[in-house]
Amino acid sequence: MIIQEMKKEHTDEVFQMMKVFYSSPAVSTNGSDEIFMSDIQNCINDNPYLEGYVFVEQDKIMGYAMAAKSFSTEFGKPCIWIEDIYIKPEYRGKGIGSQFLVYIEQKYRDSILRLEVEEDNTAAVHVYKKSGFDVLPYMEMKK
């Protein structure tokens, strides 16, 4: 399995995966086609705050991920938010998500890694805990 930067030619397939991901119980919001396209365009157009990746084996895209960059004053270092990790059902359980987390951790060695996960998504929670993530004891809010 190879982790590649998202490129223009991945747009249609990533868009379809996003539609599936954001309509699943793994995500609490549904998003929209407009948001999905904006996210993909920001990944492929060198936005300094958002990176997109695809997981490829033998020219087949098995999934995608997006990571956003910020700074955490709470932890005093750069922060990488794992925004999306989606693996197509037929490729789940093969360690792809874990490999991506190792990849990001190595790429951003002096950064804090953060992510959100639905509590009911026990498979993802297991992967994240196995990868060293801890649950933070507070609520996140948005406006």
Q: Choose, from 49, 86, 128, 138, the residue flagged as catalytic.
A: 128
Report the b/e string of 65-103 with b at 16+ CB within 10 A: bbbbeeeeeeeeeebbbbbbbbbbeebeeeebbeebbee
- CA atoms of 105 and 134, how far apart (whole Å): 15
Nearest to 7 by CA among 62, 57, 59, 45: 45
128 is catalytic: yes
Q: Are 68 and 83 in contact (CB under 8 A)?
A: yes
- CA atoms of 68 and 142, how far apart (whole Å): 16
**Residue 138 per-residue DSSP state:** S
- CA atoms of 128 and 94, how far apart (whole Å): 15
Catalytic residue ranges = 128
